[in-house]
Amino acid sequence: MMNRRSDRVLWMDGGAKAKFPSRKSNLLFFSLVLLVLIMGSLFYVWSRIQVIQLGYEISSTMKAGRGLAEENKKLRLEIATLKSYARIERFATEELGMFKPRMDQVIIIR
């Protein structure tokens, strides 16, 4: 009767040893896979943080733009108020002591 060990050796073609990956190569492989996963995760988190930060910057810039547009509207209204003929006429008569010319003082140039 053959023992089990010799039976396996015969089955493996004349005593050739089975080649299993060594523990060292397994550890290296899993370390590399783990490193790639960690790096990928860190890149993903970094990119999400960048997107959020840029979103905040865009939001604050848009808010500042709306504020500037509102200030522009107010300044345009102030310009229109200051340029109005009624205001200029009132200022000229009250502050500067001017008056409207009589018809004989007006000369029309063509």
Q: Show the tokens assigned to 41.
A: 């995760």
Q: How confident is the model at residue 12, as a pLDDT?
A: 53
Q: How confident is the model at residue 25, as a pLDDT?
A: 87
Convert the chain into a string of H (helix), E (strand) and C (coil): CCCHHHHHHHHCCCCCCCCCCCHHHHHHHHHHHHHHHHHHHHHHHHHHHHHHHHHHHHHHHHHHHHHHHHHHHHHHHHHHHHHCHHHHHHHHHHCCCCCCCCHHHCCCCC
Identify the CA nearest to 100 among candidates 89, 109, 91.
89
- CA–CA separation, 73 vs 69, rounded Å? 6
Q: How confident is the model at residue 76, as a pLDDT?
A: 97
Q: How confident is the model at residue 110, as a pLDDT?
A: 85
pTM equals 0.53
**96 neighbors 102 (Cβ within 8 angstroms):** no
Q: How confident is the model at residue 3, as a pLDDT?
A: 55
Q: Identify residue 20 by its one-letter amino acid code.
A: F
Identify the CA nearest to 49 among candidates 41, 38, 63.
41
If the chain, 110 residues long, is cut into consecutive pieces of 10 residues, what is the mean pLDDT of each piece? 52 55 86 97 98 98 98 97 93 91 89
Q: Show the tokens assigned to 42.
A: 């860190």
